[in-house]
Amino acid sequence: MRLINEIVPGRSLGGIALQISIDAVIENLRNHHAIKISEGTVSIDDGLITIGYDESRSIYSVMCNSGFEGRYEGKLWAGMTVREVLNNSTTQVAWGGAVVVDGIEGIGLPLPDGFDDFERLTDHLPLDHVFEHLSVFIPG
């Protein structure tokens, strides 16, 4: 298995699907990528992609950093600024610690610690704030 630049909200990121066994992903990637395993997370290629898994070893989130080249429909990517979020979306809401745009479930830009709610995205974050990560997760 090799990583791809595809992002599918609520389903997969980089070709890594949600709700499958982390063990299968590790086995498939270990020959082509640097893997670091911690309790509850697996980091691929120095954090390019970070996978969260639960006690049953099922993947519940896949997150990429700004080095990941994939974009979702040209409107969401890791490394975008607050200004770019506002320019590329109509609505922004805080959900589960992330900015979710235009009601697209299962994908978001993780908020900095302590910023889990806002009325307007610019209430607490400047226009040049960079969202270093993008996360795909199981919609709630």
pLDDT tens column, 27-53:
999 999 999 999 999 999 999 999 999
Domain boundaries, the chain: 7-65, 80-137
**47 vs 66: CA distance, rounded Å:** 10
Q: What is the pTM of this model?
A: 0.94
Task: Name residue 42's beta-bridge partners.
Answer: 37, 51
For the segment 46-96, what is each residue's pLDDT rounded down to a tens digit?
A: 999 999 999 999 999 999 999 999 999 999 999 999 999 999 999 999 988
